Amino acid sequence: MNTENNILSDQIKNAKEGKQTAFNYLLHTFWNDVYRFQLQRTHNEYEAEDITIQSFSKAFDHIQTFKEEYTFKTWLIQISKNIHIDLLRKKKASIHSQTTNEVDHLAYKIADDNPSPEDKLITEQNLAQLLRYLKQLKPHYQEVLNLRYFQELSYKEISKKLDTPMSTVKVKLLRAKKLLAEIIITNR
């Protein structure tokens, strides 16, 4: 097993232990692979991005079920593929399902930590410049960052306001912060 596989294996183990940095690593490492896969299937950037967010949300919710004898990337792609198939079935049947109260109840048990040092840095940036950078993001990323950092809503409050599972809110925030950081870095 090479070093890259050892790092990945360690990060998966850390994610199973609930360490946020491991989730960040997995999201950043595999985002492009899952997104590209969905873009080829959907031919729609917005839909591909939405399915990718849902894929990571579901994968992180079920990280305990991942077995080391499988390839993590393949596991993620399979989750993504299944989500896309489910969405196609729902479109055909015109059925819009909502999460059950039990699922909502379990989602609300997820720890909503106080803002991290990274979160505090984002809120302390020069506001005018930060708003210019934010405008470069897609609207749904702007919205989730606005709710978290400017309106200072908790994950639970954002989840209710957007009528979205909390795990999806967390993945969107992770992705939005990464994209915002890239914009800031390229504009310096």
Based on the fold, state whether residues 123 and 49 are members of the same structural domain: no
Give just the sign of the alpha carbon dihedral 54, 60, 61, 66.
Answer: positive
What is the spatial distance between Cα 118 and Cα 99, in angstroms, rounded to a whole number?
A: 31
Based on the fold, state whether residues 7 and 48 are members of the same structural domain: yes
3-state DSSP call for residue 131?
A: helix
In the block, tokens 């993001």 appear at 137
Based on the fold, state whether residues 87 and 130 are members of the same structural domain: no
Note the pLDDT tens digit of each residue in 137-168.
Answer: 999 999 998 898 888 888 889 999 999 888 88
What pLDDT, on the 0 to 100 scale, is given for residue 113?
A: 52
Quick check: 38 and 47 in contact, CB under 8 A? Answer: yes
Based on the fold, state whether residues 112 and 140 are members of the same structural domain: yes
Based on the fold, state whether residues 84 and 123 are members of the same structural domain: no
- Whole-prediction pTM value? 0.63
The enclosing domain of 131 has a CATH number of: 1.10.10.10
What pLDDT, on the 0 to 100 scale, is given for residue 37?
A: 93
Residue ranges of alpha helices (H) inside 43-153 are 45-61, 72-93, 101-107, 117-124, 127-134, 139-145
Question: How many domains are contained in the chain?
Answer: 2
Domain of 30?
Answer: 3-93
Based on the fold, state whether residues 34 and 61 are members of the same structural domain: yes
What pLDDT, on the 0 to 100 scale, is given for residue 15?
A: 92
* CB crowding 1-33: b at 16 or more within 10 Å, else e: eeeeeeebeebbebbeeeeeebbbbbbebbbee
Provide the phi-psi class of 169: left if phi over 0, else alpha when psi is between -120 and 50, else beta.
Answer: alpha
Based on the fold, state whether residues 84 and 156 are members of the same structural domain: no
Spell out the per-residue pLDDT of the chain, length 188, in tens: 578 888 999 999 999 998 989 999 999 999 999 999 999 999 888 889 989 999 999 999 999 999 888 899 999 999 999 999 888 888 777 544 444 455 455 555 555 555 555 555 555 545 667 778 888 999 999 999 889 888 888 888 999 999 988 888 889 988 888 898 888 888 87
What pLDDT, on the 0 to 100 scale, is given for residue 129?
A: 73
In the block, tokens 């702007």 appear at 142
Based on the fold, state whether residues 83 and 120 are members of the same structural domain: no
Q: CA 15: distance to chain centroid?
A: 14
